[in-house]
């Protein structure tokens, strides 16, 4: 059973051979930790890094255009991003539509040429998707992170956007339609090029509760999500939704909107709550804690966390994936403990 088939079996509750596990090393880690130590960890865990080949040459990480320290970046929408650490995604410091007076002459970017964050080569996308299928990998594509709600924030500013929703600002619907039409064109491109998995990443939660009221989400954002996800569903693509933060108040709306795989944070939302709501019914791509246990706990506590999550959310039938993102500040012994545990418990129900 190849990786693609195993992933699809996990999504469809068709008895995967193992729990799909992903360990993502943020680009900033390559200048925050000794590179040889990171390479050693990767080499020791081929299950998590099957294509890794150690190198004596320095690793040159690939930074996104909005991940360059002290180099402000203007994206395709005119939003200006700034960060203070290479590899860490910046924050928008200039909102091109902070003043509604600028909206009349504002023009959106062209989805045939750009992704929203930078240029996109659709011929190369077609080649990449084709090669993935030929090599037994998922032909996966994704909208940019923060494609709708966060993009509206970037364009207007968070407070302005919240007031727009509360005040029934008439121009907001036109702006939402502009953003939705751009993203819909991207989705249709991916579907036409043979994508079988499309990601819809967008952070909606805070530490406690969502950044948008459920009522405003249902009125302004949920219809756009449904519009964006429909072409993927019609084509038989897997619809994967990522959100950081506490999204318990919005989860039912996300599932109703067409989400098939929900990627949410474990401890922020609560392991038991996630199990009660989803286990055995909707595939969970569990985002493993980055705030508490994995940063400040012991290796034994980390092992116990991964085991608990697998015991409560997994089954032989499937329905669970897990992902961890390593960022600077986590002790390397804890990173090793995570890699060990994810490898160990991937076959817990095999």
Whether residues 243 and 128 fall in one domain: yes
Whether residues 98 and 223 fall in one domain: yes
Whether residues 204 and 290 fall in one domain: no
Euclidean distance between the first and final Cα of the chain, in Å? 13
| pLDDT of res. 66 | 96
Whether residues 56 and 74 fall in one domain: no
| pLDDT of res. 349 | 79
Per-residue pLDDT band at 192 (split at 50, 70, 90): very high
Q: Alpha-carbon distance 81 to 62, whole Å? A: 17
| pLDDT of res. 36 | 96
Per-residue pLDDT band at 350 (split at 50, 70, 90): low
257, 292, 327 — which closes off a domain? Answer: 257
| pLDDT of res. 282 | 95
> Is the separation of the CB atoms in 331 and 28 below 8 Å?
no
191, 222, 257 — which closes off a domain? Answer: 257
Whether residues 98 and 201 fall in one domain: yes
For position 103, which CATH number holds? Answer: 3.20.20.210
DSSP 101: G
257, 274, 290 — which closes off a domain? Answer: 257
Least confident span in 53-62, 238-247, 283-292? 53-62
Question: Which residues have C-beta within 8 Å of that of residue 312, sequence separation ≥ 6?
Answer: 271, 272, 275, 279
Whether residues 41 and 76 fall in one domain: no
Question: Which residues have C-beta within 8 Å of that of residue 212, sequence separation ≥ 6?
Answer: 149, 162, 165, 204, 221
| pLDDT of res. 22 | 97
User: E-assigned strands of the chain?
Assistant: 21-25, 73-74, 80-82, 91-94, 140-142, 197-201, 238-242, 261-265, 283-287, 320-326
**In 21-89, which ranges are continuous DSSP H helix?**
29-32, 35-44
Whether residues 45 and 158 fall in one domain: no
Whether residues 252 and 315 fall in one domain: no
For 9, the domain range is: 1-60+260-350
Q: Is the dihedral of CA 27, 30, 32, 36 positive or negative?
A: positive
Provide the number of structural domains found in the chain: 2
pTM of structure: 0.95
Whether residues 27 and 110 fall in one domain: no
Percent of the chain with pLDDT over 90: 94
Whether residues 101 and 191 fall in one domain: yes
Which residue in the block uniquely carries the two structure tokens 């490898």?
343
Return mean pLDDT, the chain. Answer: 96
Whether residues 346 and 212 fall in one domain: no
> What's the rounded mean pLDDT across residues 196-209?
98
> What's the rounded mean pLDDT across residues 328-345?
98
Give pLDDT tens digits for 24-66: 999 999 999 999 999 999 999 999 999 999 888 999 999 999 9
Q: Alpha-carbon distance 341 to 318, whole Å? A: 18
Whether residues 178 and 91 fall in one domain: yes
| pLDDT of res. 55 | 87
């Amino acid at each position: 059973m190849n990786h693609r088939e195993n992933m699809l079996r996990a999504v469809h509750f068709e008895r995967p051979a193992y729990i799909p596990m992903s360990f993502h090393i943020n680009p900033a880690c390559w200048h925050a930790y000794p590179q040889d130590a990171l390479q050693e960890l990767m080499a020791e865990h081929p299950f998590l890094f099957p294509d890794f080949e150690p190198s004596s040459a320095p690793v040159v990480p690939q930074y996104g255009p909005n991940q360059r320290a002290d180099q402000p970046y203007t994206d395709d929408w005119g939003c200006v991003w700034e960060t203070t650490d290479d590899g860490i995604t910046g924050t928008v410091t200039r909102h091109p539509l902070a003043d509604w007076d600028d909206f009349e002459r504002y023009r959106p970017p062209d989805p045939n040429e750009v992704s929203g964050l930078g240029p996109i080569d659709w011929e190369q996308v077609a080649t990449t998707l084709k090669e993935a299928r030929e090599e037994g990998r998922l032909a996966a594509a994704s909208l940019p992170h923060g494609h709708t709600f966060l993009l509206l924030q970037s364009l207007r500013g968070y407070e302005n956007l919240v007031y727009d929703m509360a005040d029934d600002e008439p121009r907001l619907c036109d702006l939402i339609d502009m953003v939705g039409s751009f993203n819909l064109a991207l989705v249709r491109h991916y579907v036409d090029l043979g994508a079988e998995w499309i990601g819809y990443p967008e952070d909606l939660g805070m530490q406690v509760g969502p950044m948008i009221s459920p009522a405003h989400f249902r009125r302004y954002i949920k219809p756009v999500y449904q519009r964006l996800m429909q072409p993927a569903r019609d084509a038989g693509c897997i619809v994967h939704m990522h959100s950081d933060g506490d999204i318990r108040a919005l989860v039912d709306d996300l599932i109703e909107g067409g989400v098939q795989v929900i990627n949410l944070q474990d401890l922020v939302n609560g392991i038991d709550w996630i199990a009660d709501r989803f286990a055995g019914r909707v595939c969970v791509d569990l985002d493993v804690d980055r705030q508490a246990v994995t940063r400040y706990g012991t290796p034994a506590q980390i092992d116990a966390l991964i085991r608990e999550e697998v015991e409560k959310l997994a089954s032989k039938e499937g329905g669970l994936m897990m992902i961890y993102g390593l960022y600077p500040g986590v002790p390397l012994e804890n990173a090793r403990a995570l890699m060990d545990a994810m490898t160990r418990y991937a076959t817990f129900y095999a």
